[in-house]
Each structure stands twice: as C-alpha cells, then as structure tokens.
Amino acid sequence: MFAISFEMRAGALASRGVWRKMAILNGMEPAPYFRPDELVSASKSSLTTLTLGAIGVVYGDIGTSVLYAVKEVFGSGHVPFTPDNVYGILSIFFWTLTVIVSIKYVALVLRADNHGEGGLVAMLALASQSVKDKPRLRRVLLLVGIFGTCLFYGDGVITPAISVLSAVEGMEVISPALHRFIIPITLVILLCLFMVQKSGTTGIGKFFGPITLVWFACIAVLGVVHILDRPSILLAISPVYALSFIWNQPGTTFIILGAVVLCVTGGEALYADMGHFGKRPIRLAWFAIVMPCLTLNYFGQGALLLEHPEAVKNPFFLMAPDWALVPLVCLATMATVIASQALISGAFSVTKQVIQLGYLPRLQVLHTSVRDTGQIYLPFVNWGLFVAIVLAVVLFRSSSNLAAAYGIAVCTDMLITTVLTFFVIRYSWKYPLALCIAATGFFFVVDFAFWASNLLKLFDGGWFPLMIGGAIFTLMITWKDGRRLLNEKLRADALDLPSFLEAVFVSPPARVEGTAVFLTAEVGTVPNAMLHNLKHNKVLHANNLFVTVRNHEVPWIGLSKRLEIDSLGHDCWQVVIHYGFKNDPDVPKALQQIKGRGCEMNSMTTSYFLSRDTVVPTIGKGMAQWREKLFAQMHHNASGAADFLNLPNNAVVELGSKIEI
C-alpha cells in the first residue's frame, strides 16, 4: 500500500536476471553486467516476464483490497442498504480506480521518471533538483517529501497487518468456532514471513507472479459468476450513478471516502516499482489484467449484495461456494503474504536510499543474493517492522478496526506526490503555469477530498500510522540537523589540507611502503585520522589518498562519473567518489579506477584509516538538548563506516576522537 513506495516494493524481485538487463537498457544501471547480444535478447523476450513480475510485485496490495474494501463501505453503517446506493457505491469504486490509478499514476506520474526510477524518494530528488535555484522552496519540498517517506513506514505496518488478518478472517466464514484462532494464526504467518527475510526472496520470488495471476483469475471468476445472476449491475460503470450518489448524499459521500480509498491501496506502487519493471509492463499489467479483474470482482460483490443483503458481513468470501472456501482462504493468505513481502522488501530499499541521502544513520545492510545487489536485508528494519505489526494486530484485533487506522498515511503520500509532480512539470519540464495547475489541480482536489475524509478516522486509529511516521520523521530530521552541526564543527576546527602537507614535507616523517586511504567528510581538509596517525605512529605511507564519498539526489551515477582525482604533490591525491542513492557504495572497487591515472595501489598493501568520532552534547547553540542527546545516541549506534563502504576488515584502522556540538 507506499509510496516510498514509499517506493516502495522496490527490490522485491530484482534478482531476476532479465529484469536487471532491462534496467541496463533503460539507462538505470551504470555497469556493463551483460554483453550487448544478451541485452538485445533480453529486450525482445522479456516483456511477458516483466509483466508477470509486475502483477506479482506491483499489484499485490491493490489486488488484495477486494478482501475488505466493499465490506468496510457497507459495514460502516453510514450507507443505507438500497439498490440505488449499491449502484452508486460501485460506480464510485470504478471511477476512483480510473481517476487515481489509470489517469493520475499511469497517464501522468509514470512520466516523471528520475533516470528510469520512480517512487516518492525519486520524485523528491527530481522536484528538489528542479527548484535548486530556489533554496527556501527546495528546503520546504525536502521536508514535505521526507515526511511522506516517513509515512511509508506507518503504512508499512498497517498493510501486512490488515492484509493477512483479512485473509485469515475467512476462517470465520468456514466456521464461526474458528474465530479464536484468527489472531494466533495471523501472528504465526507474520513471524514466518519475517524470519525468512534474511534468506532473501530469490528462491520464492519466482512464484510471486504466477500465484498473484492465479489470484486475479480467481477473483475475476468469482465476480463473473454473480454478475451473470444480475447482469444489470454492469450499468454502474456509468459515472451517472456515482454523480447521482454524490449529489443526493454529499455528507455521506464525504464520510465514506475514507473507506472507498481502500480500493486503491497500493496504487502508488505503480510509480514506486517503475525502475524494476519499466512503464510498459506496468501499464500492460494494469489495463490487461488487474483493473478488469478488480472491476469484475467488485461488481460481483455488488450483485451478491443485491441478492443477499446479509452477505455484507464478509461479501468477498461469501461469494464462493462452500466447497471452495478452504482453498480460497489459502489462496487469499498466499496473496496477502506476497503483498506484504513486496512492501517489506520496499522498506529495505527505501531505508537504504534514505541513508545515502543523509537522513538516517548507517545500518547493517546484508546482501542476500550474489547476483544482484538490489537484494538486501536490514535486520534492524526487519524486526522493527515486525514488532510494530504485531502491536497493530494485537491492538486492533480485526481488519475492520485496522481499516479505521488505514488510509490517512496513504492519502497523505498521494497528496504529496501530486504536489511534487506540480513542481517537476512546472520547473523541470517547463510547461506553462496554467497547464501545470490544470494537470495537477484536479488530482489535488480529489486527493484532498480523500485525505480530509480520512481525518475523520484520526481518533479511531488513524493516529497509529501518523505516530509511527512522526517518530521516524523526528529521527530523520534530528540526524540531518545533527550531521550538519557536526560537519560545521569539523570544518571550523579543520586544517587546510594543501597547506598542511606543504608544512609536513618541509621536514617529512619516515615513509613506509604501501598506500594509506584516509576517509574524510570534507574535501580539502585534514582528516583527524591522519593527525592521530602522525602523532602516534610518526610515519606516512608511500602513497596517500584523501577520499571523500559524496551521495547525490539521483538514483544512479555511472562508472564513467564515479571518481575524480587531483594530485596534491608528494605522492598524495585528493579523491572524490560519487554515488546515487540507489548505488551500492564500494570504495575499494571505485579506487580501482585510479590505476593509470598517476597513482598505483595494491590491495594487499593498502590500509584504510577512519576517524571514529564520539559526539558530546553541550548546552548552547545548535539543537535542543534532547535532540542533541538523541543524535549522539544515533551516532553511537550507527553501523561502522567500514562495513557500509565495503572496506576489507583486515585493512581498516579506526582512530577515535571526541567532538562537542
């Protein structure tokens, strides 16, 4: 159901080699992983594979919304149960899917790709770059975009909880006596799901697409069976029914929009997963498979309700004959697990991107595939999500209660996406102002209506994802501000590197064989690690590299632009390594490019010197005292730079120092 997403689902099945080949063809990957003849073959044969993959990863969330969307609208008690209202609600469902997903995301937002990448993080980078000559506006957009990214995590807690719980609740339709087992079984399924994350999705990923395709075929068949009993239900496709309902019951319409939005949960994944599948497979999957199947099922549920109004307690599962209930519950559970898996993988991917943008401290990142660096596992994020999801299941205890908590985070993300899109098409694409307002203004009004309606659920559970998002936003902004203060302090105390080297080589210390790589945050300043090395060891290596790693607001930076090197004399060089927020930092690999450029280095005789700073909060300027203490704790618990930069463990020397902020 993110953004981020959040970009969300990104990386869930990236290990499939053919998808990586297509990524290279689209200019998203910088490295030549495959030969040209392989790429040509991939471009001709992979559309079907990519489309199937998109069905499994991109549309898992929106595909399982049929489990609870109709139930929540009619079960809310706000809509009198009449045939006219059934037609009106179904028409609103259909046109919500059409306007928000088909027109907004497929027709407009998919065009705003950032070097082939999509999602809120990519859109944020694109929007901030388009207004880089307006620093105040840029700062506001960054804050808004980062807040939207934080809400992805709140959404990421509610989505697996409501999806798996709604599927397992089908057991109650089989037999009311099974009600007491719903919560325990849900928790066991979620525990198993999070336990397998460390093994990656390479093995099970190949089943995602086929299983989800079977799911869509199943829900379509269920819908058709009941539509045949009342074919006139298809008349609800006409917008006249939706407009009539809105005109006659404006207050009721506003209230139920908070439940109607459940039918587009996961729609933002269209944009988030563009980098993995491309625009054409995502569009093809939507118009050829997903939207027709969803429409048939929703209209089938409407036909069932007209024939059997008592089915409102769980119209989806009551569509099935008794003999099909058990396999349907099993299939629904698998579909919801796949939807949850895609979101969890997206959370790993988004967290890694946010870390490289400088809004979170380094976390342990484990690669679960030897073939694809996109397959990653972050233990802290994994178990943090699990604890929050368990809390949500135990606290809310039913999909209906969770539905009250769901929606406000998604609608806020949709609203933020619309706002950022305006700045992209206005300042990056240079479209006329009137056209930009017309293109995004309509969607802003629609998104705002859904968002305002969901505010009514704030005290019924909407506070839960907002609380999670707000807590993460506080962490991100504290880390960003703390890093800024820390860098200002380092710059104020730093020595000029060229001048320092000239002074050192007036009476040079002893030189030892090998290469020393000093990691420094600022170009042209003397790293603390070098000062400590000279003070305690009183030697310099034969070659000295002063390396600064810079992360940029673009997804990928190719190998041709990876490294800059300038000679400082005396066998010393200033090196700047550039990465996009989706590149995997690997300093030793990047430094291989310096060969033949005046500096030769042997990996066997290279040492990496890092400064391990201890932050000491002080009273005075800077952040509030509690934020400085929070930043100091985050800085202390951050994963080591050596692991994050992929430095060899047996060649790293860390020298510590204390810095007051």
Residue 4 has pLDDT above 50, yes or no: no
Residues 473/272, Cβ–Cβ less than 8 Å: no
535: its two tokens: 């003070």
Residue 20 has pLDDT above 50, yes or no: no
- The span from the CA of 560 to the CA of 553, in Å, is 17
Contacts 24+ apart (CB under 8 A), 618-621: 618/660, 618/661
Name 586's Cβ contacts closer than 8 Å, sequence gap at least 6: 645, 646
Ranges of beta strands (E only) in 63-207 are none
The angle formed by the CA atoms of residues 186, 189 and 194, to the nearest 5 degrees, is: 125
Residue 76 has pLDDT above 80, yes or no: no
Poorest-confidence range of 24-33, 349-358, 381-390, 576-585?
A: 24-33
- The span from the CA of 55 to the CA of 61, in Å, is 10
Check residue 660 and give its pLDDT: 78
What CATH class does 17-399 carry?
mainly alpha
Question: What phi and psi values does residue 538 have, to the nearest 5 degrees?
Answer: 55, 40
Q: Residue 103 — pLDDT band, cuts 50, 70, 90?
A: very high
DSSP labels, 197-264: GGG-SHHHHTTHHHHHHHHHHHHHHHHHHHHHH-GGGGGGGSHHHHHHHHHH-HHHHHHHHHHHGGGG
98: its two tokens: 């059409």
Residue 599 has pLDDT above 70, yes or no: yes
Residue 288 has pLDDT above 90, yes or no: yes
61: its two tokens: 């969330």
More confident residue, 356 or 423: 423
Poorest-confidence range of 231-235, 386-390, 531-535?
A: 531-535
Q: What are the residue ranges spanned by the domains of the chain?
A: 17-399, 494-660
Residue 479 has pLDDT above 90, yes or no: yes
Three-state secondary-structure class, residue 614: strand
Mean pLDDT of 221-245: 95
Q: What is the pTM of this model?
A: 0.83
**How much is the mean pLDDT over the chain?**
85
Strand partners, 656: 612
Q: What share of the chain is helix, strand, coil (3-state, %, to 5)?
A: 65, 10, 20
Nearest in space to 166 (alpha carbons), one of 340, 40, 22? 340
What percent of the chain has pLDDT above 90? 41
Q: What is the pLDDT of residues 357-416, one digit of tens each?
A: 889 998 888 877 655 556 788 899 999 999 999 999 999 988 888 888 888 888 998 999
Residues 259/403, Cβ–Cβ less than 8 Å: yes
Check residue 332 and give its pLDDT: 93
What percent of the chain has pLDDT above 70? 92
More confident residue, 156 or 73: 73
Check residue 370 and give its pLDDT: 59
Residue 18 has pLDDT above 50, yes or no: no
- The span from the CA of 340 to the CA of 60, in Å, is 8
Check residue 369 and give its pLDDT: 65
Number of other CB atoms surrounding residue 389 within 10 Å: 26
Q: What is the pLDDT of residues 108-117, one digit of tens each?
A: 888 887 777 7
Place of tokens 């790589």: 517
Ranges of beta strands (E only) in 413-523 are 510-519
- The span from the CA of 363 to the CA of 380, in Å, is 7
Check residue 639 and give its pLDDT: 82
- The span from the CA of 443 to the CA of 414, in Å, is 9
Three-state secondary-structure class, residue 401: helix
Residue 102 has pLDDT above 60, yes or no: yes
Check residue 34 and give its pLDDT: 32
Helices 408-423 and 463-493 pack at an angle, to 10 degrees, of: 50
Residues 312/74, Cβ–Cβ less than 8 Å: yes
Burial readout 645-661 (b: 16 or more C-beta within 10 A, e: otherwise): bebeeebbbebeeebeb
The DSSP code for 169 is T
- The span from the CA of 490 to the CA of 548, in Å, is 14
Nearest in space to 16 (alpha carbons), one of 194, 201, 197, 196? 201
Poorest-confidence range of 130-134, 258-262, 308-312, 375-379?
A: 375-379
318: its two tokens: 């009551």
Residue 609 has pLDDT above 60, yes or no: yes
Q: Residue 221 — pLDDT band, cuts 50, 70, 90?
A: very high
DSSP labels, 621-651: SSS-HHHHHHHHHHHHHSPPHHHHTT--GGG
In which region does residue 622 sit, left (phi positive, over 0), alpha (psi from -120 to 50) or beta (all else)?
left
Residue 22 has pLDDT above 50, yes or no: no
- The span from the CA of 457 to the CA of 444, in Å, is 20
Residue 297 has pLDDT above 60, yes or no: yes
The angle formed by the CA atoms of residues 423, 142 and 269, to the nearest 5 degrees, is: 75
Tell me the Cα Rg of the chain.
27
Mean pLDDT of 451-476: 92
The DSSP code for 572 is E
Give the burial class of 137: count Cβ atoms within 10 A of its Cβ; 0-12 exposed, 13-18 middle, 19 or more buried: middle
Residue 451 has pLDDT above 90, yes or no: yes
Residue 40 has pLDDT above 50, yes or no: no
Poorest-confidence range of 87-91, 253-257, 615-619, 628-632?
A: 615-619
Check residue 547 and give its pLDDT: 94
Q: Residue 472 — pLDDT band, cuts 50, 70, 90?
A: very high
Check residue 165 and give its pLDDT: 92
- The span from the CA of 11 to the CA of 205, in Å, is 11
Residues 482/634, Cβ–Cβ less than 8 Å: yes
Number of other CB atoms surrounding residue 161 within 10 Å: 27
Poorest-confidence range of 21-25, 252-256, 290-294, 416-420?
A: 21-25
- The span from the CA of 357 to the CA of 550, in Å, is 10
Check residue 39 and give its pLDDT: 35
